[in-house]
Amino acid sequence: MGLWSSYRLRWMRKRWKIRAFLKRRELRAVTDRTASLRPDSLLLFCTLRNERARLPFFLKYYRDLGVEHFLFVENGSDDGSCEYLAAQPDTSVWTTDASYRDARFGMDWVNGLLARHGHGRWALVVDVDEFFIYPYHDTRPLRALTDWLEGLGIRSFGTLLLDMYPKGPVAAHPCIEGQNPLEVAPWFDSANYTMSRNSRLRNLWIQGGARARVFFADRPQDAPALNKIPLVKWHRDYAYVSSTHMLLPRGLNLVYDRVGGEKTSGCLLHAKFLATLDEKAREEVARGEHYGNSREYLAYHAEAEADLWCKWSERFINWRQLEIMGLMSKGNWA
Amino acid sequence: MSARLGCIMLVHSALERAAQVARFWAAAGSPVVIHVDARVPRAGYQHLTDALKDLPQVRFCRRYRCEWGTWSLVAAMQAASTDLLRDFPDVAHIYAASGACLPLRPIAELAQWLGRHPGTDFIESVNVADVNWTKGGLSEERFAFYFPVAFKRHKWLFDRLVDLQRRLGVRRELPEPLEPHIGSQWWCLTRETLSAILDDPSRKTYERYFRSTWIPDESYFQTLARLYAHRIESRSLTLGKFDHQGRPHVFYDDHLQLLRRSNCFVARKIWPGAERLYRHFLAPQEGALSQAEPQPSRIDRHFARATLQRVRGRPGLYMASRFPVKDRENGKTAEPYSVFQGFTEVFEDFEGWLAAVANCRVHGHLFAPHKAEFAGRGKVFAGGLSDNATLRDYNPRAFLTNLLWATRGERQCFQFGPADTTGLRHDLLWFMATDSNAQISVITGAWAVPLSRADGDMGAIRREAARLQRIETEMLEILRSPWVRARVRIWTLAEFLENPGEPLHTLFDEIAPHQQARLIRIPELVDLSDFGGFLQELRNRGMQPVLMGDFPMNPPRPDRIKV
């Protein structure tokens, strides 16, 4: 570690920036309302494909939280997602038919949009099945959180990706359009997460939860990463490295305390395990477009009928419950 | 009769909120002089003055460019105070507030309360020599060094200048007869004291000195008040809590009840978006004036807890925002637990016995090679822990800390042994041995008892015995190392069998201290009549079994264990 490694990371960051710049040409604007953004607008960035049924609730959830503008990259949908989003008053939509995998799972596109529209603003980067919660989200809007972070000079906010699932086979629980997915899939694992520190990028690497327990018990090293940093006061020099798991410059990854204290953190409730999954998994495996040769998706595909519920599963009530369980923390934000 | 109260208000952002609060003061008959930071753009300033121009008792004073930690804030307060004292000769008390302060009680109640404390200055003013709460490491140095640059804009230069002056041993002389005091800048002074400070013949000298101290807004008035006040109550009437880094805690809508019950007069700082707070506390209040005394202690505790969580965290928790390095855990695990090595091997159904007599959860070998033997042998346990050995061994330490975290409030006991996963280079065992929550009890050599009764190739059994003996020897080295913080007890098998009741009772007293250990029957021992022969057989095959102690060839068979 030291100068040499800092220097190499610097070039790594430049590389992602250049890629993002080049990949911009793959995007075609459907509606671009970014001219109306204020210098302090709260933005949400999201890449999606064929998620029409999930969109109404997704938009409502984040509008209620206080997001002021949505920037979507729509990747080859044929279910009307694109038209639906373009018709919303607070969205900007770009579309592309280029390869999701070649764009580093959409991250190049998002990095490009962040550099152009995120600079100097707070940006939330989530997937359509991720619902951001933070301490007091039921009484304090997102702006209260970003104001507080800004006052302390904190640039990034960490979360745990918490896999939510229904009771019984996943396929047996359809979620209808506009319905809160967390009503259908309210269960989660409370204390089976393992973590280690990535000394190069300084982020935590968290694995575990229901996915590791059911799908990856015999090859835990392949279990998906659950550490996410979705909320960042963006600067044009920043870049996401791998999904929203980690960023460069690496100081942004220090969302955890190393001397015993707790920093304030939240959760991303991951409503992935819903009835649409089976069809979705089949489609994704056919495309082979997901991370690690779609090994995650292959695993789900093979066990589409799996029941993730067990008698120790916890049913989601509210953020205070997650806080007591130590899945997120108020830190000193009282 | 309540004296008239005036307010000076420092404003730099959230101008609409400041206007609302100024209107509230004015509506109660209190004059307000507002200082607006010169960095506020002209349009914003214009908007604010327009919004308040219908109120003759609200004035605006000369504007300074305010920068945190510098003299400019004192200059602003001086300017506002001078205007207030000059324009409103009947004002008897002056309250210093910021634009983010919110009155929690009618101004009339505050005025009445002040009337009951005539001639008293409410200003937190602590002698620097006795302060332990300054943040950032500067307390006496605030007064001894020169601080020509603002910290927020020139952090690097600021730090270098401090370093340099430390090295040079710079010590500035305080002008006589001042004694440095510091405290919150949100004070409430009497007209007499404030006028005396502003009209002091040596004001120029003092100013020249304070201009280059650090954070003079927390020391200028606090020091000078000591010269002129008749009676100082060293506390701020403004409720404001600071975190471990000296930043103010912020109040939101969900603090409404907490603030209401505090009976404090003014709170800061309020998040500008806290619509409910502003609506509630600035609503015109009817009814008789309350005489309640301010009670900030509940809020104090609320924020003290939060600071503690930020600084110390919850023991035994490892999560996305808490991942302590080794030895900085403030508690490696959540709660006390017991580890038994060699007990199931010596007693018949030790697990069942322990679970029946002590109020705790008794697991089998949690780290057994084939799977985690949870109590009841379920496939999954608390927190969603799986009994899968691969998953567990991916991070055995996390498995243990997760288990103890998920079962807080219920003591966990489990069996352990040399055949189990002890982690890479025994790191799991090291972790437990250095954890003050662990109670580790070992009967050395007991692993040989099941071997002595196993059928099969004696050569294979001998090899297994040698392997386990080697591992247990390594384990004992760890358990006897000087870094151990666990409660470790070690007996050889022979030693233990001489009087098994005594050690069991000792352990039991620790696990369940309120139960009458002496009255409890101890469990049956397994049949050890052939064990001496088995050990001899191992010796005959060239192995040297040592960990069992001096086990007799033909042990006296205890018909009944004495209790």
Which pLDDT score, from 0 to 100, does residue A16 have? 86
Model pLDDT, residue B1: 40
Mean pLDDT (whole number) for B217-232 = 91
User: For A176-190, how does the pLDDT look when each residue is reduced to its tens digit (9 = 90+)?
Assistant: 888 899 999 999 999
Query: What is the residue-averaged pLDDT of chain A?
Result: 89
pLDDT mean over B341-346: 94
**Is the pLDDT assigned to residue A313 strictly greater than 60?**
yes
| pLDDT beyond 50 at B563 | no
Q: Residue type for B318, please?
A: Y
pLDDT at B460 over 60: yes
Interface membership of B34 toward A (CB under 8 Å) = no
Crossing angle between the packed helical segments B220-228 and B72-87, to the nearest 10 degrees: 50
Q: What is the arithmetic mean of pLDDT over B274-289?
A: 89
Which residue, among A322, A288, A276, A33, has the nearest Cα to A162 in the 3D structure? A322
Of B245, B380, B388, the CB nearest to A310: B380
pLDDT, tens only, A237-293: 999 998 899 998 999 999 999 999 999 999 999 998 887 655 665 566 666 666 555
The domain tally of chain A equals 1
User: What number of helices (H) and strands (E) belong to chain B?
Assistant: 22, 19
Contact assessment for residue A146 and residue A42, using Cβ atoms and an 8 Å cutoff: yes
Token reading at A221: 């090293």
Alpha carbon distance B511, B437 (integer Å): 12
Residue with tokens 């100082």: B232
Comparing B131 with B541, which gets the higher pLDDT? B541
CA distances B240 to A176, B225, B253, Å, are 48, 21, 16
Q: State the DSSP H helix or E strand holding residue B115, giving kind and residue range, or none if neither.
A: helix B107-115
Q: State the best of B321, B370, B387 to mutate against chain A, taking most chain A CBs within 10 Å.
A: B321
- For residue B242, what pLDDT is reported? 83
Question: Which of B244, B300, B319, B371 is the best substitution to test chain A (most A C-beta atoms within 10 A)?
Answer: B319
ipTM of the complex, rounded to two decimals: 0.91
Residues A328, A322 contacting (CB under 8 angstroms): yes
| C-beta atoms surrounding B192 within 10 Å | 14
Helix B191-198 vs helix B220-228: angle between axes, to the nearest 10 degrees?
110
| Exposed / middle / buried, residue B495 (Cβ in 10 Å: 0-12, 13-18, 19+) | middle
| Alpha carbon distance A9, B5 (integer Å) | 60
Angle at alpha carbon of residue A18, lines to A16 and A19, rounded to 5°: 65
Asked if residue A87 is part of any domain, the answer here is: yes
Q: Which of A266-270, A297-301, A318-322, B185-189 has the lowest mean pLDDT?
A: A297-301
Return the pLDDT at A298.
Answer: 60
Identify the bridge partners of residue B416 per DSSP, sorted by sequence position: B341
The reported pLDDT for the residue numbered A279 is 61
User: Does A300 have pLDDT greater than 60?
Assistant: no
What pLDDT was estimated at residue B511? 83
B316-331 residue pLDDT tens: 999 999 999 988 999 9
pLDDT tens for B389-423 read: 999 999 999 999 999 999 999 999 999 999 998 88
**What pLDDT does A20 receive?**
84
- Does A329 map to a domain? no
Percent of chain B with pLDDT over 90: 65
Confidence of residue B561 (pLDDT cuts 50, 70, 90): very low
pLDDT of A3? 84
- Averaged pLDDT of chain B: 90
Q: Is the pLDDT of residue A209 over 90?
A: yes
The per-residue pLDDT for range B477-534, each reduced to its tens digit, is 999 999 999 999 999 999 999 888 888 888 888 887 776 655 677 888 998 888 988 9
Tell me how crowded residue B514 is: count the other CB atoms within 10 A of its CB.
7
Question: Considering the domain boundaries, does residue A332 fall inside one?
Answer: no
Residue A330 lies inside a defined structural domain of this protein: no
Determine how β-strand B361-365 pairs with β-strand B412-416.
parallel
Judged by DSSP in three states, B352 sits in helix
The alpha-carbon gap from A264 to the nearest alpha carbon of chain B, in Å, equals 7
Please report, rounded to a whole number, the percentage of residues in chain B having pLDDT higher than 70. 95
CB B372 within 8 A of CB B364: no
Residue B180 binned pLDDT confidence (cut-offs 50, 70, 90): confident
Domain of residue A282, residue span: 3-324
CATH of the domain at A129: 3.90.550
Peptide bond into A39 cis (omega under 30): no
Question: Is B381 an 8 Å CB contact of chain A?
Answer: yes
Task: Give the β-pairing of B266-267 and B102-103.
Answer: antiparallel
- Domains of chain B (ranges; CATH) run 4-294 (3.90.550), 337-540 (3.40.50)
Which chain B residue is nearest to residue A330, measuring alpha carbons?
Answer: B306
Chains A, B: CB contacts within 8 A come to: 181
Mean pLDDT of A96-119: 89
Write out chain A residues lying below 8 Å of B250, CB-based.
147-148, 151
User: How large is the average pLDDT for residues A130-140?
Assistant: 96
pLDDT, tens only, B78-113: 999 999 999 999 999 999 999 999 999 999 999 999
Burial of B474 (0-12, 13-18, 19+ CB in 10 A): middle
Name the amino acid, one letter, at B343.
F
Asked if pLDDT for residue A305 goes beyond 80, the answer is no
Tell me, what's the pLDDT at A294? Answer: 59
Per-residue pLDDT, A302: 56
